[in-house]
Amino acid sequence: MPNNSNTSFTNRVALITGASRGIGKAIALELGTHGAMVVGTATTQAGAEQIERYLSIAGIRGMGIAMDVTDPAQITSGIKAVQQSLGGIAILVNNAGITRDNLLVRMKEEEWDTIMQTNLKAVYLLSRAVLRDMMKEKNGRIINITSVVGATGNAGQTNYAAAKAGMIGFSKSLAKEIGSRNITVNCIAPGFIDTDMTRALSSEQQQALTQQIPLGRLGTPQDIAAAVAFLASPAADYITGTTLHVNGGLYMG
């Protein structure tokens, strides 16, 4: 287990939303392996149990909680439970995200609103909920998982790209607001990562995509988790308000 001074999260509590699978799970395991106490959220109780299972197999202290990240009451009670059993949250990773792709001319309001709620409003609600503890500690890390399409745009994803670009503006503003309290706010923008979300693409689509990636492959959840661990670590003390692109060269910001 790596345990040098650059990656020491011992006894710090990290909250990762959308942690039952994919990128969120990789982030939870990565931070936990570096010594953090890990809290993963999932939308269902079954998802929360899944999180508890993989944390316990990996020997990581932490918990899984069922939480609808668009519901302020559930966020408040979930965070209270974490504070009572593990302590104040020092690292927040807003990872939960969904897609409702459609051409704009056919996009229903429900498809637009759902994406804004889950991908953008949740970031506001969760950040607000953890800020007091971070301000008291004069220390904290907020890491928002955005997307390359927030920077490049993508046909069929006006809603998703708008929410992801919104996260970047949010992060820059909050970084300015609370920088004086030693709290950093950054984004990580994954490119095309091999998860359930990208597996929904046809193999022709996947092939065409891979041809545009200088490093010649889709990314892995681990590629993103390593970048999160870096931004959460003391090595990134002086980095705030930035977006770190992790995309194999697909887009160079």
Residues at the interface with another protein (CB under 8 A):
132, 135-136, 177-178, 180-181
Nearer to another protein, 44 or 76 (CB): 76
Q: Which tokens in the block code for residue 170? A: 């949010």
136 in Cβ contact with 88 (< 8 Å): yes
Please report how close the Cβ of residue 134 comes to another protein at its closest, in angstroms: 11
Nearer to another protein, 80 or 132 (CB): 132
Please report how close the Cβ of residue 71 comes to another protein at its closest, in angstroms: 20
CB count within 10 Å of CB 95 equals 27
Q: Which of 98, 168, 158, 147 is nearest to 251 (CA)?
A: 147
* Strand segments (E) across the chain: 13-16, 37-42, 62-66, 89-94, 140-145, 183-190, 243-246
Residue 195 among known ligand-binding residues: no
8 in Cβ contact with 34 (< 8 Å): yes
Please report how close the Cβ of residue 198 comes to another protein at its closest, in angstroms: 40
Residue 164 among known ligand-binding residues: yes
171 in Cβ contact with 144 (< 8 Å): yes
Nearer to another protein, 2 or 179 (CB): 179
Residue 217 among known ligand-binding residues: no
DSSP state of 13: E
> What is the chain's percent helix, strand, coil content, to nearest 5?
50, 15, 30
DSSP state of 110: H
Nearer to another protein, 95 or 127 (CB): 127
For tokens 């692109």, the residue is: 245
DSSP state of 143: E
Residue 61 among known ligand-binding residues: no
Residue 248 among known ligand-binding residues: no
Nearer to another protein, 176 or 199 (CB): 176
Please report how close the Cβ of residue 181 comes to another protein at its closest, in angstroms: 7
**SS3 label, residue 243:** strand
89 in Cβ contact with 12 (< 8 Å): no
Residue 20 among known ligand-binding residues: yes
Residue numbers annotated as active site: 160
Please report how close the Cβ of residue 180 comes to another protein at its closest, in angstroms: 7
Q: Annotated binding residues, as ranges?
A: 18-21, 43, 95, 160-164, 193
Q: Annotated binding residues for NADP(+), as ranges?
A: 18-21, 43, 95, 160-164, 193
